[in-house]
Amino acid sequence: MKMKIGMKRAFALVLSSVMLCMSLAGCGGAAGSTGDGTSQVNIAYQYGLAYAPVIIAKEQGLIEKAYEEATGKQLTVTWNQMSSGADINTAFVSGSINVGFMGIAPAITGVANQVGYKVFTGLSGQEHGMMTSNPDIKTIGDLVGSDKQIALVNIGSIQHIILAKALAHAGFDAHSLDSNIVAMKHPDGMSSLVSGSIPCHLTSNPYLYQEQDNESLYPVEGIADVWSVESSFIVGIASQDLKDGDPQAYEAVCKGIAQAIEYIKANPEAAAQLTCEFNGNTPEDELKYMQKGNYSVETTGIFDLATFMSENGFVDKSFAGYGDLVFDNVKGN
């Protein structure tokens, strides 16, 4: 219970302090329309193959092209790679970004805490799993009551909520491993697992598959049972100010991401060539890992996850329905 309260309090403090800064400093630089009449979109994203459509949209200028085709004008797009959904939520509150791509759990947290955005697109579903360097750890239940550390992106991340959901599914309290979590971005978590400094790592594509190929590491059962590759993992979020204040820029972002997803489906080899260097894979491995993912503008399971988070104290808000979480152009559940 202490950890549950602590997480809420910590997130609330971050939000309140940044909101105070924003009100004092008059922040808002990420608004779609700038003072000189031009438009800009400031986008944040993270690490891993789950973000492949974002990389493709960035490298091919798809959002800028969609905007120019619709308006005949130029759109300025800036790109910011961040370590966690919590970082992106803080950036949204500060006004430094107006579009982000993150795990669905921190997106739900942001909606619940009225950061000022909703989901505007699905992006990808990816397999999740936990690997360990300790062969005696067979299931997540073997970790309950121990002090063995688990590396994952952050408290409140989608990996954290998947872990909590797996614990509840196995009959344990959803918060029973909160104190075991060590926050690390995916590449650092994998390096720490391989080096032996952390005994467990909960991650996704491509890091999970790289770890599975390592004969010195072992799978921990229980994660894949509650969140499959068909379930939404990464979603796109956009500020209400962007959607209302610069609808043409908003539509260009939607179209650019949809085109990137279609590009992956129609040209998987070329897509892998385009993204492999960002993930540290050979083109052959990148293609293999990319084909294990599920890229779609539709969402799956996010209202169920929001309900789980509400019922287990990860957010204070109860959601009446799917529409509380997404803009009206989004399809799914």
Query: In CATH, what number is assigned to the domain containing residue 121?
Result: 3.40.190.10
What 3-state class would DSSP assign to 308?
A: helix
Which of 258, 259, 257, 282 has the alpha carbon at shortest distance from 269? Answer: 282
Same domain, yes or no: 14 and 65: yes
Tell whether 118 and 160 lie within a shared domain.
Answer: no
Do 212 and 241 fall into the same domain?
A: no
The answer on 132 and 117 residing in a single domain is no
Number of domains in the chain: 2
φ/ψ of residue 312, rounded to 5: -110, 15
User: What b/e sequence results for 108-145 when a residue is b if at least 16 CB atoms lie within 10 Å of its CB, and e otherwise?
Assistant: bbbbbbebbbbbbbbbbbbbbbbbbbeeebeebbbbbe
**77 and 163 inside one domain:** no
Please check whether residues 50 and 139 belong to one and the same domain.
Answer: no
CA distances from 41 to 93, 173, 209, 221, 262 (A): 15, 41, 33, 41, 22
Q: Last residue of some domain: 172, 191, 220?
A: 220
Please check whether residue 32 is in contact with residue 250, taking contact to mean a CB–CB distance below 8 angstroms. yes
On whether both 114 and 204 belong to a single domain, the answer is: no
Q: What is the pTM of this model?
A: 0.85
Q: How many residues can be counted in the chain?
A: 333
3-state class of 275 per DSSP?
helix
Structural domain boundaries, residue 153 = 128-220
- Claim to verify: residue 100 and residue 145 sit in the same structural domain: no
Residue 250 belongs to a domain: yes
Q: Which residues contact 164 (CB under 8 A, 6 or more apart)?
A: 174, 175, 177, 178, 308, 312, 314
207 with 252, same domain: the answer is no
Judge whether 300 lies within some domain.
yes
Same structural domain, 214 and 266: no
Contact 190, 210 (CB under 8 A): yes
Q: Are residues 207 and 236 in the same domain?
A: no
Would you give per-residue pLDDT tens digits along the chain (333 residues)? 334 444 444 444 344 433 434 333 333 345 455 555 678 999 999 988 899 999 999 999 999 999 999 999 999 999 999 988 889 999 999 999 999 999 999 999 999 999 999 999 999 999 999 999 999 999 999 999 999 999 998 898 999 999 999 999 999 999 999 999 999 988 999 999 999 999 999 999 889 999 999 999 999 999 988 988 999 999 999 999 999 999 999 999 999 999 999 999 999 999 999 999 988 889 999 999 999 999 999 999 999 999 999 999 999 999 999 999 999 999 999
